[in-house]
Structure 1
Amino acid sequence: MGLKQRLIFLLTDAFNVSLAYSYIDGEERGQNAEQFQPMNGFSIPPNKFTAQIEYDNDNGWISSLTTLYVAGEDYRIDGNNAFGRRDVDSYTVVDWTNQVELGQGKLQVGIENLFNEQYFSVYSQLQRNGNNTSSIPGRGRTISLQYLYNW
């Protein structure tokens, strides 16, 4: 069972806020198992909440600030770690993007992970064990600059 909900609020002609929430739940029964059990973290992601405020001044400049919160979730059964069954920590990441029309194109400037949050993605947390190199931290603060030229 899942729920995905998105709400958009127009505060003014230039400002809007959007909120999104995602919840998914499910059970599975393994081969030769008699009872259903909650699905693991590779099949069912934790709850997610996104909030975004966007400014569009109608003169070609758009700026947005987006916050993503991923809830913690304990996928273990009876407290035991197994494939896709670990206790996952929550994390929050904030991104800021700007776009301005410039000449025949658009200049885009963005900062991902604005506050340089140190975190592990859900996938990386589920991969953790003594010698697994798939468990890598999320990217730190990343600044990008792009120019998109319209032909």
Structure 2
Amino acid sequence: MAGVVVVFDFDKTIIDVDSDNWVVDGLGATDLFDRLLPTMPWNTLIDTVMGELHAQGKTLRDVADVLRAAPIDPHVVAAIRAAYSLGCDLRETLLRLVSRVLVEESTLLPLDCKLESLPVTVQDGMPMPLGVKN
């Protein structure tokens, strides 16, 4: 299977939930999210909610802790491990910073597995995509 590239979406594929909603709910910002939802585009909404959570003292570690509790179907884990063991080049579309947390914590893949993702930086302790427009 060398030369085969497998691309995974993160939400509802690797984890069985939408990660944005999972993190918002897990960090206690559901009311704010619901209030702002009809007033702005999705990316602006998530940026705004994450900014408010940061202002309340939430950190990247808090986000990682919530993501560690996200449900991962054992069949997905088995499929990813099988593809990796067959030599497939695995790719995913989640921000590299957050996905690395799940890989390291769940031992889903070996740590030397190459993850491709959106470029990201950390500003004020929160992940921020680079060059991604709302």
Q: Is TM (by shorter chain) over 0.5?
A: no
Higher relative contact order (CA 8 A, sep 6+): 2
Task: Kindly indicate which of the two structures has a greater share of residues assigned to helix.
Answer: 2
Structure exhibiting the larger radius of gyration computed from Cα positions: 1
Shorter-chain-normalised TM-score: which range? under 0.3
Task: Kindly indicate which of the two structures has a greater share of residues assigned to strand.
Answer: 1
